[in-house]
Amino acid sequence: MPQQITIAVFSENKAGLLHRVTTSFTRRKINIESLTASESEVPGIHRYTIVVEITPADADKLVHALEKQVDIQKAFWYSNEEIIFREIALYKIRAEAMTDGSPALDVVDRHHARILSVEEHFTVIQKTGRREATTQLFKELEPYGILEFVRSGRVAISRPMKELKDYLVELKIASAR
C-alpha cells in the first residue's frame, strides 16, 4: 500500500545535483509532494527532505537508487511514525480583518499561530505544524480574506539515535580502503 514517506538525501551541494535527485523520482513517475533543501549537522553536507506517496518496497528501491549516485552520500526513508516533522505556513490577511476584537484574531489565538508582522495594509500570520493544522487554519481564515498563502516543504527529524556522522564514518572506512 502506498503511504506517506519522507526521504532524506545527504549530499555535497553541487550544481546539477538537484536535477539528479529529482530525475530519480520522475523516471519512476513518483510525484514529489514537497521538497526542502538545507544544510545538515555535518559541515559541507547538504540535506534534501522529500515527501512522496509510495509503498515501502518502492521506497527501498528508490533510496538505493539515490544512494548509488556518485555525489550522494547517504539516503534514508521514514514512515511518519519514525519522524518528528513540521511545515511552516504564512498567511497574508487584509489589515481591516485584524482590528481589535475581530473574530479573526480569535482564530489565530485558538490555533496558537503567531502574528509575524503588522503592516499598514495587511498582517502576516505564521503557523508551524503538520499539514492538517495549517490547512485547518487556512479554512478558518478564509472568510476574512486571505491575500496570499504559502507553505514550506516538510522538515523532519528522525527518531532513531544513530547519527549521520556514524554512517559517514562507516562509508569512509569502506571507500578509503
Partner 1 sequence: MSTTTKPDSTGTSTPSNRISGSEAVVRCLLEEGVDLVFGYPGGAIMPVYDELYKYSDQIHHVLVRHEQGATHAAQGYARSSGRVGACIATSGPGATNLITGIADAMIDSTPMVCITGQVPKHLLGSDAFQETDVMGITIPITKWSFQITEASEIPEVFAKAFYVAKSGRPGPVVIDITKNAQFGELDYQYERCEVVKTYVARPDVGRNELQEAADLINSAKRPYILFGQGVILSEAEDELKAFVEKAGIPAAWTIMGLSAMNTDHPLNVGMLGMHGNYGPNVMINECDVMIAIGMRFDDRVTGNLEKFAKQAKVIHLEIDRAEIDKNVKTDVALVGDAKEVLGLLTPLVNSNSHEAWHQKFKECDAMEFDKVIQNECSPTEGMMTMGEVIKNLNKHTHGEAIIVTDVGQHQMVACRYAEFKQTKSNITSGGLGTMGFGLPAAIGAKLGAPDRQVIAVVGDGGIQMTIEELGVILQTDVHVKIVLLNNEFLGMVRQWQQLFFDKRYSATEMVNPDFQKIAEAYKIESKRIDERADLDQAIETMLDHDGAYFLEVMVGKENNVFPMVPSGAGVSEIRLE
Interface ranges with partner 1 (CB under 8 A): 11-12, 15-16, 19-20, 23, 27, 60-61, 64-65, 67-68, 70-73, 171-172, 174-177
- The pairing of beta strand 155-158 with beta strand 122-129: unpaired
DSSP symbols for 36-74: EEEE-SSTTEEEEEEEEEE-HHHHHHHHHHHHTSTTEEE
Distance, in Å, from the CA atom of 168 to the CA atom of 40, rounded to the nearest integer, reads 13
Q: Does residue 6 contact residue 59 with C-beta atoms inside 8 Å?
A: no
Measured between alpha carbons, how far is residue 18 from residues 13, 56, 82, 100, 172 in Å? 9, 23, 25, 46, 23
Neighbours of 141 (CB within 10 A): 21
Q: How far is the CB of 159 from partner 1 (least distance, A)?
A: 24
- Residue 12 cell numbers, joined: 555535497
Alpha-carbon radius of gyration of the chain: 20
